């Protein structure tokens, strides 16, 4: 199988050299040629470096590739879909064995995915899904159930506020507009809190999954709304940014404003253990080992499940105190 592919690979080396300039334009790229030592070559396009979660995810993928003996070509798209499309096209030109990517947004992938399919290169979606109707454009999805994360957050809030009298005003910091985790977490949370009419989302805006975005949007929320009871942030980093805005406004995070976030990275868990956050739904970034396993299987032409979901949990303040000492990321 691999011998039959050698001539195509040789052309790939030339293409890689010719395309080195355009790869550099895609961000922090590792350019290079084929895995001449017989290694599987995996081209991976990462969303960016917007959060602690993302850094842990990148580290997991790089480490796992080394351990699995897979040659990884890595590109950081800096949160831009056009950079991801460029990177994927570049991987197609290089004739890598497998392409994987974490799509920054859900829509707009059909053309480039069809190009990969036509080139005979299997594609694995990791972390975030696409909304393509044609499921044959990719082999599998590996990641979290984001709707469930939103729902668990909403269910915890219902229980936490069951004795509250009067309206409970919620502000929501959404992730990157159009991304699967922003769409799905919003949906899951809204569906869950619909069971209690006193829980009302009074403002909802994107903070782009960054600390700076979380801080800036929370400042606006605090200026516009004198009574905010709850913050639901789609990730820890936006919640951590919002803490600064809340403190600067003279309020006590975790007491005056109940704070729910998603991810459970170390900094988020520390804020939870310190009483500044109140609840976190976990989203695991440690996808590297499973991704390498899948890359080997799809390269070998083996059947893989269409969707593989990560096992995750939730944390209260007490649980965070217990878990923190052993938290890996
Ligand atoms: O797609 C996963 C999300 O992206 C994480 O929750 C967030 O922190 C990251 O930026």
- Whether 125 is in a domain gets the answer yes
Q: How far is the CA of 101 from the centre of ligand 1 (A)?
A: 14
- Whether 20 is in a domain gets the answer no
The count of structural domains within the chain is 2
161 Cβ partners below 8 Å, 6+ apart?
168, 196, 198, 199, 229, 230, 258
- Residues 191 and 130 both lie in one domain: no
**What's the chain's average pLDDT?**
91
- Whether 294 is in a domain gets the answer yes
Cα–Cα distance between 87 and 77 in angstroms, integer? 8
Q: Which of 130, 152, 147, 129 is nearest to 185 (CA)?
A: 147
> CA dist 112 to 28, 115, 116, 249, Å?
21, 5, 6, 46
Cα–Cα distance between 92 and 97 in angstroms, integer? 9
Average pLDDT over residues 36-41: 86
At 317, phi and psi to the nearest 5? Answer: -60, -45
Q: How far is the CA of 209 from the centre of ligand 1 (A)?
A: 7
pLDDT 10s digits, 247-292: 999 999 999 999 999 999 999 999 999 999 999 999 999 999 999 9
| HSE value, Cβ hemisphere, 13 Å, CA-based, for 161 | 28
Q: Which residue has the higher pLDDT, 16 or 313?
A: 313
pLDDT 10s digits, 217-245: 999 999 999 999 999 999 999 999 999 99
* Ligand 1 atom showing the smallest separation from residue 179 Cα: 1
How much of the chain, in percent, has pLDDT values that exceed 70? 89
- Residues 250 and 208 both lie in one domain: yes
322 Cβ partners below 8 Å, 6+ apart?
none
Candidate from 45, 46, 47 with most ligand 1 atoms within 8 A of CB, to mutate: 47
What SS3 class is residue 29? coil
Q: Residue length, the chain? A: 329
- Whether 76 is in a domain gets the answer yes
- Whether 218 is in a domain gets the answer yes
Name all residues whose Cβ lies below 6 A of ligand 1: 50-51, 53-54, 127-128, 181, 209, 235, 237, 262-263, 283
Q: How confident is the model at residue 36 (pLDDT cuts 50, 70, 90)?
A: low
Q: Which domain holds residue 192?
A: 146-283
Q: Which of 146, 111, 147, 135 is nearest to 304 (CA)?
A: 135
CATH code for position 219 = 3.40.50.2300
How much of the chain, in percent, has pLDDT values that exceed 90? 88
In the predicted structure, residue 325 carries a pLDDT above the cut 50: yes
In the predicted structure, residue 158 carries a pLDDT above the cut 50: yes
Q: Is the dihedral of CA 244, 286, 325, 261 positive or negative?
A: positive
Q: How confident is the model at residue 35 (pLDDT cuts 50, 70, 90)?
A: low
- Which H or E run contains 254? none
Q: What is the pLDDT of residue 37?
A: 81
Q: How far is the CA of 212 from the centre of ligand 1 (A)?
A: 15
Candidate from 153, 188, 235 with most ligand 1 atoms within 8 A of CB, to mutate: 235
319 Cβ partners below 8 Å, 6+ apart?
none
Q: How far is the CA of 274 from the centre of ligand 1 (A)?
A: 23
- Whether 5 is in a domain gets the answer no
- Residues 150 and 140 both lie in one domain: no
Q: Which of 196, 186, 316 is nearest to 264 (CA)?
A: 316
- Whether 6 is in a domain gets the answer no
SS3 percent helix, strand, coil of the chain, rounded to 5, is 45, 20, 35
């Amino acid at each position: 199988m691999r011998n039959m592919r050698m001539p195509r690979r040789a052309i790939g080396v030339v293409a890689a050299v010719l395309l080195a300039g355009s790869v550099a334009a895609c961000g922090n790229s590792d350019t290079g040629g084929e895995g001449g030592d017989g290694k599987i070559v995996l081209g991976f396009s990462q969303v960016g470096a917007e959060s602690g979660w993302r850094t842990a995810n990148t580290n997991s993928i790089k480490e796992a590739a080394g351990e699995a003996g897979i040659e990884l070509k890595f590109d950081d798209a800096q949160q831009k879909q056009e950079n991801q499309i460029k990177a994927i096209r570049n991987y197609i030109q290089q004739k890598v064995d497998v392409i994987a990517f974490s799509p920054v947004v859900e829509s707009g992938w059909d053309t480039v995915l069809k190009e990969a399919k036509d080139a005979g290169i299997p594609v694995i979606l990791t972390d975030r899904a696409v909304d393509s109707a044609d499921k044959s454009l990719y082999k599998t999805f590996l990641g979290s159930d984001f709707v469930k994360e939103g729902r668990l957050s909403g269910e915890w809030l219902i229980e936490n506020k069951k004795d509250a009298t009067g309206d409970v005003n919620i502000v929501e910091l959404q992730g990157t507009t159009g991304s699967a985790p922003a769409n799905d977490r919003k949906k899951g949370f809204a569906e869950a809190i619909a069971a209690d009419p006193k829980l009302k989302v009074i403002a909802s805006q994107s903070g782009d999954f960054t600390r700076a975005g979380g801080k800036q949007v929370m400042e606006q929320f605090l200026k516009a709304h004198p009574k905010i009871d709850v913050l639901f942030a789609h990730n820890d980093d936006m919640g951590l940014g919002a803490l600064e805005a809340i403190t600067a406004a003279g309020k006590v995070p975790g007491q005056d404003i109940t704070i729910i976030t998603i991810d459970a990275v170390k900094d988020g868990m520390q804020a939870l253990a310190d009483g500044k956050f109140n609840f976190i739904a976990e989203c695991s970034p440690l996808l590297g080992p499973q991704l390498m396993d899948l890359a080997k299987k799809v390269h070998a032409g083996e059947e893989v499940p269409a969707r593989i979901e990560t096992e995750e949990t939730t944390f209260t303040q007490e649980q965070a105190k217990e878990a923190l000492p052993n938290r890996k990321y």
